[in-house]
Amino acid sequence: MENENKKLLEKTTTRRGLQNRHIQLIAIAGTIGTGLFLGAGKSISLTGPSILFVYAIIGILMFILLRAIGEMLYTDTEQHSFLNFVSRYLGAKTGYFAQWSYWLVVIFMAMAELTAIGNYLAYWFPHTPAWLMEVIVLVLLTGLNTLNARFFGETEFWFAMIKVVAILGLILTAVILIFAQYRHGSDVVSLSNISNHFQFFPKGVGNFFASFQMVMFAFVGMEFIGMTIAETNNPRPTLVKAVNQLPIRIILFYVGALIAIMSIYHWQSIPANKSPFVMIFQLIGIKWAAALVNFVVLTSAASALNSCLFSSARNLYSLSTIHKDRFARPFTKLSKSAIPLNALLFISVLVLAAPLISSFQATASAFNMITSVATDLFLAVYILTLFTFLRFRKSKDFLPDGFILPAAKIFVPIAIVGFCLIFVSLFFFKDTRIPALGTILWIIVFGMVSRVRKSKIEL
């Protein structure tokens, strides 16, 4: 009887194929986006050295969020989506809204990353149609995801390694140039480039607060770590280690990289429309620096797309087993390798719309708008997740001796207020105002749909 139950469980749950080293590198990769490699110049140009404080503040908010998610997952490591807890503690209707909204957000995120991959590949293959390269990459990554979780882990491991090496190379370069007191033009490489004439608002209070939303969206996707824990061999210790090392990663990879950049170049001489990584690698004599950085951002985008396929497939599988929607039944089935294959293939077909959309100029702008709305929805989901955590703390599932978020009654409300303020700030800037209004419209319309829907769930 025990063997029969074990076989039944193996047929209805995904297989634990991820190892600790996979999770640790995936967690690192989740903190490093293309925004650092390509967008660092723009964020620095907004507010100068005080951008370090912005990254630190957003990093603290994300750490609180990840600790809250980690505490809930620690009590039930079988969950394939941390959003399942929304249904459990805030009700089926709220869970329906949060889970399907988040799933849709990740689909659009995957489409955006695939479009970016086409643009990066055009650097080396300018005469090859972008849509063809995008299709080839999507087929390749989908194929890797059909094998088993271990192959996903290996792929992400090496994608992450490339990004880590690039950033460590930048920081090491800065350290060497600082000790050598290297000169380029009239400038000397020194930490004093950051501290001299320091101002919090060198370009005005408005630009300082505008940088918050830019930095915030450089961090989205960090919570993907919560989708991988259910497929690790030893989930609880792995979860604790991955989440607790987050502050070190933020300090090293984001704050460290920005300090290195502003030590080598005075922040006022860093152009907003050029990658500082390219400038620095060219400075030390790497003539093919632009190609090197293009390769790094290509792997970064491929890593993000890979994570989107993995997490959205697990999310759809999880949603299909929870909500009794007729159309979702095929997505509850697993392959022989314990992969939610139907869910993965369905998502890949949806993402295939990206090459089609990007080939028509008339629809490309609409796609960009939808992607911006989807990105803003991350904030709404994060806020709901933190409210879920507060309800979880009052439930019988709370483990006082588990993976506890210290001073949760203080830090969680602070994080909720912080995310709310960032969302409100979107309405004060021209580029983010319309997407923010679109997000409000989605919350109202889909919120009403979720309210009137009769939801039957099994958790």
How sure is the predictor about 133, in pLDDT bands with cuts at 50, 70 and 90? Answer: very high
Residue 264 exposed, middle or buried by CB count within 10 Å (0-12, 13-18, 19+): buried
Q: Which of the given ranges, 19-33, 159-173, 364-378, has the highest pLDDT on average?
A: 159-173
Secondary structure of 362-411 in HEC code, one letter for each residue: HHHHHHHHHHHHHHHHHHHHHHHHHHHHHHHHCCCCCCCCCCCCCCHHHH
> Is residue 244, in this structure, part of any structural domain at all?
yes
Residue 11 lies in a domain: no
The CB density around residue 341, as the number of other CB atoms within 10 Å, is 19
Phi, psi of 244 (to 5 degrees): -70, -25
CA dist 338 and 47 (Å) reads 48
In 3D, which of 89, 85, 102 has the Cα closest to residue 439? 102
Q: Does 1 reside within a domain?
A: no
Task: Classify residue 57 as exposed, middle or buried by CB count within 10 Å of its CB (0-12, 13-18, 19+).
Answer: middle
Residue 317's pLDDT is 85
Q: What is the pLDDT of residues 281-311, one digit of tens each?
A: 888 888 898 899 899 888 888 888 888 888 8
Strand partners, 183: 188
Q: What's the mean pLDDT in 331-344?
A: 82
- What pLDDT score was predicted for residue 9? 37
Higher pLDDT, 320 or 60: 60
- Under DSSP, is residue 32 helix (H, G, I), strand (E, B) or coil? coil
70 lies in some domain: yes
As to burial, measured by CB atoms within 10 angstroms (0-12 exposed, 13-18 middle, 19+ buried), residue 240 is middle
Residue 25 has a pLDDT of: 62
Amino acid letter at 197? Answer: H
Q: Which of 345, 251, 208, 265 is nearest to 28 (CA)?
A: 251
pLDDT in the model for residue 11: 43
pLDDT score of 72: 93
Chain centre distance of CA 158: 17
In a domain, residue 7? The reply is no
pLDDT at 252: 80
| 83 compared with 89, residue with greater pLDDT | 89
pLDDT for 226: 64
The answer as to whether 458 is a domain residue is no
List the CATH number of the domain containing 286.
1.20.1740.10
Range of the domain at 290: 18-452
Give the whole-number percent of the chain exceeding pLDDT 70. 85
Q: What is the pLDDT of residues 247-267, one digit of tens each?
A: 887 788 888 999 999 999 888
Q: ∠ CA(271), CA(272), CA(278), 5° rounding? A: 65
When the pLDDT of each residue in the chain is averaged and rounded to a whole number, the result is: 82
Read off the amino acid at residue 390: L
pLDDT band at 5 (very low <50, low <70, confident <90, very high): very low
Residue 61 has pLDDT above 90, yes or no: yes
Q: Is residue 10 included in any domain, yes or no?
A: no
In whole angstroms, what is the distance from residue 230 CA to residue 224 CA? 12
- Confirm whether 173 is domain-assigned: yes
pLDDT band for position 137 (cuts 50, 70, 90): very high
Q: What is the DSSP letter of 125?
A: -
Q: Looking at the 3D structure of the chain, how many domains does it have?
A: 1
Task: Name the residue type at position 55.
Answer: Y
What 3-state DSSP class applies to 183? strand
Instruction: In whole angstroms, give the CA distance from residue 428 to residue 213.
Output: 11
Quote the pLDDT of residue 8.
37
Which of 30-44, 160-174, 391-405 has the least mean pLDDT?
Answer: 30-44
For residue 232, list its beta bridge partners: 18
How far apart CA 375 and CA 112 sit, in angstroms, is: 10
